[in-house]
Amino acid sequence: MGAMVVVSVFCGVNKGQANETRVQDLHHRSEAKLLHPLNQPTAQSILAQASTDSTTPSSPFSQTADFASRAGFYGAVSTDARFATKLTLEPINASISLSPGFGINAAVGYRFKNNLRLEGEFSYGSNNVREARLPSIPGATTTISTTIPLTTAAAFTTPVPIPIPGVGIIPAGSTIPAGVVLNPGPPFTNANPVTVNGIVIPAGTDLSTVPGLTTTGGTTGTTTVTAPDIPAATVKVGGKITTLSGLVNLYYDFPTRSRFEPYVGGGLGVSRASADGLSAGYPGTTIRYDISGGTTVFVYQFMGGVAYKLNANAAATFGYRYFNVAKQSFDVNPVGKLDVGGFGVHNIELGLRYSF
């Protein structure tokens, strides 16, 4: 009995000490939090932790994406600013300067696994004509021969009947009109048919036997015409030069495994360059050149630029293109068909390429 009392007292003492220890521990923790507010979780730290734990929204390319282009078919469209070199018309050595123009290009192609691309392209370009340089024309003296035709001098009434071999007899009193054109003789023959009293005297009939017939004219004269020098002139010109082309192009894309992918290429094909509404004249004269028509000729081009990948399928392109039209011909009135020894076009282009 006494032992149980001792144990109870001992346990009570221990519980009291334990409770006192817990109270002291809670007191110390409260003081620590008051003394160290930075240890408290704040709203900013909670939001930062939540942001770290959340998943980043997906983008066209993930943080570890491979930007390499894949093989397959694609389509491409672009527009460009065109800066054409001048055209020279030979052999008159007249030149035509063009204003900056525009172009539209469309292509379908296939990209291979070795970074080569092969495509077919259709393009249209247009440049307005700004001015023309017309060469000087040296003066010249020209002698023109003039022939006064031989004719009957006056109307003539035949005094007696006149037999015309192979035709018949022109009765006396018949009138041969003035101005009948005669071929120089002898003998004199009429150049054109003549009707006398209902009888048609055919051309080439000998009229030298008609008594009393007088003639006039038949002399040859000359007229001298002198044309002055016409100086060279630069004149404003309307009209435009257009090209319609079909080409096969081969490209190489430099692999960078980034959004930016440089490229180079070249192409061959045919093009028709046409002149429309082109006319130029020397000031103060009636001398003008009207240029029209065109021919289908061989063309080639070189390209270079960079593509920027917008997503896994689409890329924006920016580049340079040199386009050269080979020797061709235009119709130049009143000179005839003249040659142009080829001309180049510099293009700055912006486009879009989409892989299927």
Is residue 264 pLDDT above 80, yes or no?
Answer: yes
Which domains, ranges and CATH numbers included, belong to the chain? 72-137+233-355 (2.40.160.20), 141-224 (no CATH)
pLDDT of residue 79: 97
Phi and psi torsions of 5, nearest 5°: -65, -40
pLDDT of residue 65: 54
pLDDT of residue 112: 95
Is residue 2 pLDDT above 90, yes or no?
Answer: no
* Beta bridge pairs of residue 299: 269, 325
pLDDT band for position 41 (cuts 50, 70, 90): low
Is residue 28 pLDDT above 70, yes or no?
Answer: no
pLDDT band for position 100 (cuts 50, 70, 90): very high
pLDDT band for position 49 (cuts 50, 70, 90): low
Rg (the chain; Cα; Å): 51
pLDDT of residue 303: 97
pLDDT of residue 153: 84
Model pLDDT for residues 75-86, shown as the tens digit of each residue? 999 999 999 888
Q: Cβ(140)–Cβ(131) under 8 Å?
A: no
Q: In Å, what is the CA distance from 61 to each residue of 57, 247, 275?
A: 11, 34, 49
- Distance from C-alpha of 112 to C-alpha of 251, rounded to nearest angstrom: 10
Q: CA 89, 94, 96 angle in degrees (round to 5)?
A: 80
Please indicate whether residue 225 or residue 35 has the higher confidence score (pLDDT): 225
Is residue 178 pLDDT above 90, yes or no?
Answer: no
- Determine which helix (DSSP H) or strand (DSSP E) holds 205, and give its type and residue range: none
Q: What is the overall mean pLDDT for the chain?
A: 81
Q: Which two tokens stand for residue 315?
A: 């890329």
Model pLDDT for residues 280-337, shown as the tens digit of each residue? 889 988 888 888 888 899 999 999 999 999 998 999 999 999 999 888 888 888 888 8
- Distance from C-alpha of 347 to C-alpha of 28, rounded to nearest angstrom: 80
